[in-house]
Chains A and B, each alone.
Chain A
Amino acid sequence: MEGILHALFAPGFGHSEPVRTAVLAGAVVALVSGAVGVITVLRGQSFAGHALSALGTLGGSAAFLVGITPLWGFVTSGFIVAGAMELVGTQRRSGRDVATGLVLSTALGLSALFLYFETIVNSTTGVTITILFGSLFALNGITLPAMILLGIVCLVLLALLYRPLLLSSVSSELAAARGIPVRTLGVAFLMLLALSAALSSVTVGTILSSALLIGPAATALRLTKRPAVAMVLAGVIGMVSTWVGIVLAYDSYRWPPAGKGWPVSFCVVAVLFTVYLLTGLGSRLRTARVRQRRAGAPVTGQPLPTVRQG
């Protein structure tokens, strides 16, 4: 028994302070990302989530240059980008591909410059890794309480806005007809998305933060059709995946090549993707069975023939 435990958890796992912090922070971030992710998919705003985290790189690297915690850099840049997106109206990916692509790559270029300055001028090593791949094992004492607070704010907002968000995701006209201020609600959700992207950027980095947003959500909506259940499920899937990723990363100090450990963000995302693939196998078997049952049902959707007479 002890042998198995030792094989699973490398010695010292339970006593390590960074590990305990990582487990707590990872759980908060995963719960928020999962729940926000489901609404993001429902609203068809996955791309906005991706753009927010990519542009978070700019905020995070700028924060390093100025000398503040990356978290606040992520949050600030997220709010600015969310506001800009609302003004330009690019939440739904449509006809603005060129402009969006240009803005994203310019922002990343600028981030590269900031990271370069930080590394060269201030000789801070590892800053690029921290921003791009996260710093789950190196969270300082100021960041953790702030993260928990922001996480709670996100979850409370989400619970409050749950029904209007669902309704406006079906049709903004329908929501507007019921007196929901659709535009304000849209901005509020983008801000929520920005907060959640900032949180996950701290743990798994800006490159992989959209994986934590969309991965658990994508898995959850293969498993359930109920929106509330999907939100909770996505949070739990994200949380467990993060924990398994943390264990793997801790264990990886015993692994090749260097005996220095693998990045925890890679381990988390690898677990998420594996879970997604496994549920995919399950749901594929299920849909095959449903299709067999439905075969023979009439197909609707024939367009009306257009009559032109003169």
Chain B
Amino acid sequence: MIGDEMRRGDVLALEGVSVWRGGRQILDEVGFSLAPGEFTGLIGSNGAGKTTILRVVMGLLAPAEGTVLVNGRPLARRNRSVGYVPQKVLIDPDAPLRASDLVALGLDGEKVGPRTPSRQRRQRVEEMLDAVDATAFADARVGNLSGGELQRVLIAHALISRPQLLLMDEPLANLDIRSGQEIVDLLARIAEQQRIAVLLSAHDMNPLLPVMDRVVYVAGGRVAVGTTDDVVRTEVLSKLYGHQVNVLRVDGRVLVVSGSHVSLDAIPRQSGAPAADASVEGR
């Protein structure tokens, strides 16, 4: 682990978290912490351990070793201070469930028994929909929403119970560039205004660069934590990956290129011809 000190008042603190599954180590002594209002990117390629980290933070997966503290207290299942936005939603376009219904379920979806109508709750749902600019499609069926609209509604669903920490699983994976940018801006605004810590997983850090306060870079179940400038550097990531990787900055974008045989000079100049043995992690 490439270090991160625990700070006072942290919303979330992981220390030495290790997870095994089927004899394979998925997470290796992962540790990082999030302060209120901080926007943190959980960056790594597929299979690096991002989703496992999110599941540990949600309390869906108990780590074999290490501690998870939410607001300084050990994590309990069903924690109201953690909001979660899943990557995928399974719902039929015809299914009778409106965007506003889904947001209302964010208040009391786990409760048993019928709900009594309340003006106060309806008002809170409306305010929340307004806060994520979703009023226009509040009445639309959830299954009919576009990717960007659905993300907004899911964010409203997660935030309506006023959590201190918002977890987002690859929210940009299925969005076009413009909707993705809108979602990122919205989250940055929410993090700042409502002092909510946002932990957002992504395989590409570039859309997040303008708003990301810190990065938790995951590779092979280990993490490197800090500001983008501290972490996304050739030496740090090479140490994390355990082999040579090169960090390239082109036009304000960051590319992480792996390949021990490839030095910067060896990269062919002509466009479109990928270098042998090189793979690109950022886009």
A300-B146, A304-B283 known; A171 and B88 CB under 8 Å?
yes
| Contact yes or no, B84 A44, CB < 8 A | no
Interface stretch of the complex, out of B1-9, B40-48, B125-133, B272-280: B272-280
Given the complex of chains A and B, what is the CA–CA distance between A279 and B142 in angstroms? 21
| Contact yes or no, A159 B113, CB < 8 A | yes
The answer to the question of A17 belonging to the interface, with a C-beta cut-off of 8 Å to chain B, is no
The answer to the question of A15 belonging to the interface, with a C-beta cut-off of 8 Å to chain B, is no
Given the complex of chains A and B, what is the CA–CA distance between A208 and B56 in angstroms? 46
Q: In the complex, how many angstroms separate the beta carbon of A106 from the nearest chain B beta carbon?
A: 30
| Contact yes or no, A41 B97, CB < 8 A | no
Query: Among B91, B112, B280, which residue has its beta carbon within 8 angstroms of that of A309?
Result: B280
Query: Would you list which residues of chain A between 278 and 310 have a CB under 8 Å from chain B?
Result: 300-304, 306-310
What mask results when residues 146 to 178 of chain A are scored 1 for a CB within 8 Å of chain B, else 0? 000000000000011111101101111111111
| Residues of chain B within 8 A of A176, CB atoms compared | 58, 60
The answer to the question of B218 belonging to the interface, with a C-beta cut-off of 8 Å to chain A, is no
| Contact yes or no, B267 A166, CB < 8 A | no
A: interface residue count bin: 35 or more
| Contact yes or no, B102 A170, CB < 8 A | yes
A163-B110, A169-B91 known; A303 and B280 CB under 8 Å?
no
Query: Among A44, A160, A172, A308, which residue has its beta carbon within 8 angstroms of that of B92?
Result: A44
What mask results when residues 174 to 185 of chain A are scored 1 for a CB within 8 Å of chain B, else 0? 111111100000
Q: In the complex, how many angstroms separate the beta carbon of B126 from the nearest chain A beta carbon?
A: 16
The answer to the question of B115 belonging to the interface, with a C-beta cut-off of 8 Å to chain A, is yes
B112 — nearest CB in chain A belongs to which residue?
A: A160
The answer to the question of B62 belonging to the interface, with a C-beta cut-off of 8 Å to chain A, is no
What mask results when residues 44 to 83 of chain B are scored 1 for a CB within 8 Å of chain A, else 0? 0000000000000011100000000000000001100010
Query: Among B112, B176, B268, which residue has its beta carbon within 8 angstroms of that of A161?
Result: B112
Query: Would you list which residues of chain A between 238 and 296 have a CB under 8 Å from chain B?
Result: none
| Residues of chain A within 8 A of B146, CB atoms compared | 300-301
| Residues of chain B within 8 A of A178, CB atoms compared | 78, 109-110
Query: Among A162, A174, A302, which residue has its beta carbon within 8 angstroms of that of B86?
Result: A174
| Contact yes or no, B114 A164, CB < 8 A | no
The answer to the question of A38 belonging to the interface, with a C-beta cut-off of 8 Å to chain B, is yes
A38 — nearest CB in chain B belongs to which residue?
A: B96
| Contact yes or no, B176 A310, CB < 8 A | no
The answer to the question of A230 belonging to the interface, with a C-beta cut-off of 8 Å to chain B, is yes
A309-B280, A310-B280 known; A42 and B110 CB under 8 Å?
no
Q: In the complex, how many angstroms separate the beta carbon of A281 from the nearest chain B beta carbon?
A: 16
B82 — nearest CB in chain A belongs to which residue?
A: A177
Query: Among B89, B91, B108, B142, which residue has its beta carbon within 8 angstroms of that of A163?
Result: B108
The answer to the question of B98 belonging to the interface, with a C-beta cut-off of 8 Å to chain A, is yes
Interface stretch of the complex, out of A62-70, A137-145, A221-229: A221-229
A233 — nearest CB in chain B belongs to which residue?
A: B96
- B-side interface residues, number (CB < 8 Å): 55
Q: In the complex, how many angstroms separate the beta carbon of B3 from the nearest chain A beta carbon?
A: 29
B78 — nearest CB in chain A belongs to which residue?
A: A179
| Residues of chain A within 8 A of B114, CB atoms compared | 159, 162
Given the complex of chains A and B, what is the CA–CA distance between A178 and B160 in angstroms? 13
Q: In the complex, how many angstroms separate the beta carbon of B282 from the nearest chain A beta carbon?
A: 9
A interface secondary structure, majority: helix
| Residues of chain A within 8 A of B88, CB atoms compared | 171
| Residues of chain A within 8 A of B267, CB atoms compared | 310
| Residues of chain B within 8 A of A302, CB atoms compared | 176-177
The answer to the question of B170 belonging to the interface, with a C-beta cut-off of 8 Å to chain A, is no
B145 — nearest CB in chain A belongs to which residue?
A: A300
| Contact yes or no, A310 B278, CB < 8 A | yes
| Residues of chain A within 8 A of B197, CB atoms compared | none
| Residues of chain B within 8 A of A166, CB atoms compared | 97, 101, 105, 109
| Residues of chain B within 8 A of A180, CB atoms compared | 109-110
Given the complex of chains A and B, what is the CA–CA distance between A147 and B250 in angstroms? 71
| Contact yes or no, B95 A42, CB < 8 A | yes
| Contact yes or no, A163 B111, CB < 8 A | yes
| Contact yes or no, B109 A225, CB < 8 A | no
Given the complex of chains A and B, what is the CA–CA distance between A173 and B83 in angstroms? 12
Query: Would you list which residues of chain A between 172 and 218 have a CB under 8 Å from chain B?
Result: 172-180, 218
Query: Among B109, B112, B142, B176, which residue has its beta carbon within 8 angstroms of that of A304?
Result: B176
A166-B105, A174-B84, A300-B148 known; A230 and B274 CB under 8 Å?
no
A222 — nearest CB in chain B belongs to which residue?
A: B94
Q: In the complex, how many angstroms separate the beta carbon of A215 from the nearest chain B beta carbon?
A: 14
The answer to the question of B192 belonging to the interface, with a C-beta cut-off of 8 Å to chain A, is no
Question: Residues of A at under 8 Å CB distance from B?
Answer: 38, 41-42, 44, 159-164, 166-167, 169-180, 218, 220-222, 224-227, 229-230, 300-304, 306-310
Starting from the known contacts A167-B105, A221-B94, A309-B274, 5 additional A-B residue pairs (CB-CB under 8 Å) come to: A166-B97, A180-B110, A300-B147, A300-B178, A310-B274
Question: Residues of B at under 8 Å CB distance from A?
Answer: 58-60, 77-78, 82, 84, 86, 88-92, 94-98, 101-102, 105, 108-115, 139-142, 146-148, 157, 175-180, 255, 257, 262, 267-268, 273-276, 278, 280, 283
25 pairs, A vs B, C-beta closer than 8 Å: A159-B114, A160-B113, A163-B108, A163-B115, A166-B109, A170-B89, A170-B142, A173-B86, A174-B84, A175-B110, A176-B58, A177-B58, A177-B82, A179-B110, A180-B109, A180-B110, A218-B94, A222-B94, A227-B97, A300-B179, A301-B146, A301-B176, A304-B180, A308-B274, A309-B274
